[in-house]
Structure 1
Amino acid sequence: MLRVALFTDTFAPDVNGAALTLARWTDYLREHEVPCIVFAPEGDRAQPVGSEVERFRSIPFFLYKECQLAIPNAKQINNRLRAFSPTLIHVATPFNLGLFGASYAAKHHIPLVASYHTHFDKYLDYYRLRWLEPALWKYMLWFHRNCERIYVPSRSTLAELKNKDFNNLEIWGRGIDSTLFSPTGQREQVWAKWNIRPRKYIILYVGRLAPEKGIEILMESFKRLPERLRSQSVLVVAGDGPLSRVMDPVAHGLPADTVEWLGFVTGIDLAEWYAAADLFLFPSATETFGNVVLEAMASGTAVIGAGEGGVKDLICHGHNGWLCPANDAQAFAEAATQLLDNSVLRGQLASAGRESSRSHSWDSIFSRLLASYQDAASPKMLPAARM
């Protein structure tokens, strides 16, 4: 019988793509009567109480304090694992908890799989740490060397890791909740609900406010819109992070009411903003997938994204969205200008994006992943683990 132990440094109620995907996946496992236990850090938000999640004290990740790294308690983990008797261990982090999970798998001859969620190498440029890249890749190869499978979210990520000599790569895509994200928003209700002055155009960004997400490019591209369009538009930003201070429009030479920073927004509130927006502007060049891009597409909103990483796997330029060169604020401004001026083209992109999103079913994605889990955990002659 399949019994899964998952080690991760982010999990619900954290609000990011990896945390929400892993939480949805463990829910799916339990719905299909696959026992699962999760080892994760404590977080700043209230956490649901349950015997299926073991929480540990944590410290801030050095790249940004909002991301926590757990401090594993060896006795606590060993006791839970002995009682649980996993037949498969899944490590979703290459750091502290992931190291413990991989070591336990090797010591007890338990099949090991991993999932790759973050392009840490691409983050290094934004924090002036590019000199660490060779050591990072060397470590990542060492960490994943015993994995039966390494799950990646997109074709571009698979190609990049294959080029770095990773083996046993398999795509684990992402799905969309089409009942939540759909083109059914009422803009007037959104204006009133958030007490925001109505404008002709809404340009939306959803995501973490951090350097690697291209926040400076977001602000600069909005600033470079022609005055005739910018004066009729509002840039709505949903998210939080270390660059929240950048959301001050006055500091960018813009009128105070042209940028609305909402902070963290989830659920129906977020879905309403997606559906109300005219454009979704997403300049991040570091995505392994781009969950928010898929959410915007499902909501019937035209997307302008950076032609890098997982985003370029979701967007076919000129068909279901628009791609711009990474870190090019002028290109983003020109694309936004073209689409705001051309409602027919904007509508065509939105409609095609909506249609594209329909192929991303969570059930089909998870059923394939469960089959892969079962194959990885099936009895076989395992090579001697190297720890």
Structure 2
Amino acid sequence: MNKIRVAFFADILAEDFDGAVRTMYQLINRIDTSRFEYLFIYGAGPNAIGNFDTFRVPYINIPVNAGYSLALPKRVNAQLNQKLKHFAPQVIHISTPSYLGNFALTYADDNKLPVLSIYHTHFISYVKYYFKFTPFLVNPIKRRIAKGHKSFYNRCAKVYVPSTSIQQELADMGVTHNNMQLWKRGIDTHLFNPVNRDKRVIERLTGNQNPTIMFASRLVWEKNLETLIAIYEKFQERGRQVNFLIVGDGSARQICEKRMKHAVFTGTVDHHSLASLYASADVFLFPSVSETYGNVVAEAMASGLPCVVADGGGSKDFVEHGKDGFRCSPFDADDYAEKLETLLDNKPLAHHFATECIKHISQLSWAALAQTYFDDISTLAAPKTAPVATTTTLKPHAHLITSLLSARL
């Protein structure tokens, strides 16, 4: 049996780098090498990915998003085209509408190849954070990103979206509904599980037995950290004896530590430590509205940790308000504080939410999601696949903003 050849393009493939890359490795680690042959084309990442063929693309670090990088395929244009010609892919997998993603999309158009893309990063929600000192640029840049997304994703045969709210936002930008398919994210319920509960883990960090409100994320401003800080300040004003446990690292950490003097900052922790913290805290707080999905909310819920989240972005789709958590007006610190205090003061309600959280998340399976992905790759590779409809290709500068905002996977 001839193997199906897939060229997989990603700016970053450093395992465990972030939620998007971890999602990709859930697929990579499940590739059936008797059926599929993959060529991985990427910037930052390991020197090798298993026994698969790889091609490294030069990259630069992005100053506005510490730790992230942008692959520059034009620097190796001839070599990359030669590599692709030799590999002769049947399907193109694109992770991000960056320079590398647009190179891949143009290659697919030129060679009449079907494209599958996974919508990982909600770039448009980042704009108000990165351009908060030049607010007159926010709306024009959002319009440019929306135009770029419409052009990019309408040239793909299939676009996986993680939530109905994100699907609707893309549709509002002009992305065709027929191109999009709801493809959530799985969760490792063996790792993220209430059995990891150990209050001593929290006590060693905080030095006390007070209730603990936990936040876990990269510490970057697009995670709505201003509202997180405002919530912390509400509790300080009220003299409420609670711990704020901030898990993660990022460019905004120093400022957050300065403004949240009594919070506990752990920095980056490994998965097993994270699982223990989820299971041992009392409430999970997540005010971010920039998520396409919100892996940390799924992890917290799987751990039996009731959640108070923003009623915005992909994370809100996890929480059924009043049944397994609370959703709050995204930038209203009083609303969050009220819901947090309700859960801290009402133990039976918190226990009920925890039970419902576990029941909800138990339905998410990486194995089933991976099977869907590989079935779709097989279908796209079949000769009967209809030609992908094309739209006018944007000029190179049209996707510059998207690339610079994140250029994550």
Q: Distance in 1 between matches of 2:56 and 2:349?
A: 49
Other-structure match for 1:17: 19
Q: Do the aligned partners of 1:88 and 1:112 also contact (CA within 8 Å) in 2? A: yes
The share of aligned pairs that are identical, in percent, is 33
Other-structure match for 1:57: 58
Other-structure match for 2:278: 274
2:356 equivalent among 352, 357, 381: 352
Q: Do the aligned partners of 2:321 and 2:327 also contact (CA within 8 Å) in 1? A: yes
TM-score in terms of structure 2 length:
0.86
SS in 1 for 2:12: coil
Other-structure match for 1:223: 233
Amino acid at match of 2:57: F
Number of equivalenced pairs: 378
State yes or no: 1:183 paired with 2:194: yes
Shift of the alpha carbon at 1:385? Answer: 5.1
Other-structure match for 2:405: none
Q: Distance in 2 between matches of 1:229 and 1:176?
A: 37
Other-structure match for 2:127: 124
Shift of the alpha carbon at 1:274? Answer: 0.6
Other-structure match for 1:243: 252
The aligned runs of 1:15-164 (5 Å cut-off) are 15-30=17-32, 33-42=35-44, 50=50, 52=52, 53-61=54-62, 63-72=64-73, 73-128=76-131, 129-130=137-138, 131-164=140-173
Shift of the alpha carbon at 1:180? Answer: 0.3
Higher relative contact order (CA 8 A, sep 6+): 2
Shift of the alpha carbon at 1:143? Answer: 2.1
State yes or no: 1:171 paired with 2:182: yes
Shift of the alpha carbon at 1:197? Answer: 0.9
Q: Distance in 1 between matches of 2:298 and 2:93?
A: 25
The aligned runs of 1:225-374 (5 Å cut-off) are 225=235, 230-231=240-241, 233-248=242-257, 251-252=258-259, 256=261, 258-374=262-378
Shift of the alpha carbon at 1:195? Answer: 4.8
Q: Do the aligned partners of 2:247 and 2:267 also contact (CA within 8 Å) in 1? A: yes
Q: Distance in 2 between matches of 1:266 and 1:47?
A: 22
* Structure 2: stretches of 5+ with no match in the other structure: 132-136, 394-409
Of 70-79 and 47-56, more deviation after overlay is shown by 47-56
Amino acid at match of 1:148: A
Shift of the alpha carbon at 1:133? Answer: 1.3
1:382 equivalent among 380, 387, 395: 387
Shift of the alpha carbon at 1:135? Answer: 1.5
* Structure 1: stretches of 5+ with no match in the other structure: none
SS in 1 for 2:68: strand
The CA deviation string for residues 47-89 of structure 1, in whole angstroms up to 9 with x for no partner, is: 6664534333322336423221111222342233233322110
- The verdict on how the C-alpha distance between 1:146 and 1:234 changes in structure 2, with shifts beyond 3 A counting, is same
Q: Do the aligned partners of 2:5 and 2:36 also contact (CA within 8 Å) in 1? A: yes
Q: Do the aligned partners of 2:309 and 2:327 also contact (CA within 8 Å) in 1? A: yes
Other-structure match for 2:402: none
- The verdict on how the C-alpha distance between 1:137 and 1:268 changes in structure 2, with shifts beyond 3 A counting, is same
Amino acid at match of 1:199: Q
SS in 1 for 2:331: coil
Q: Distance in 2 between matches of 1:332 and 1:60?
A: 35
Other-structure match for 1:202: 212
Amino acid at match of 1:108: N
Q: Do the aligned partners of 1:247 and 1:259 also contact (CA within 8 Å) in 2? A: no
Shift of the alpha carbon at 1:383? Answer: 5.4
SS in 2 for 1:200: coil
Q: Distance in 1 between matches of 2:210 and 2:389?
A: 64
Q: Do the aligned partners of 2:202 and 2:280 also contact (CA within 8 Å) in 1? A: no
Q: Distance in 1 between matches of 2:108 and 2:307?
A: 42
Shift of the alpha carbon at 1:12? Answer: 2.9
Q: Do the aligned partners of 1:40 and 1:54 also contact (CA within 8 Å) in 2? A: yes
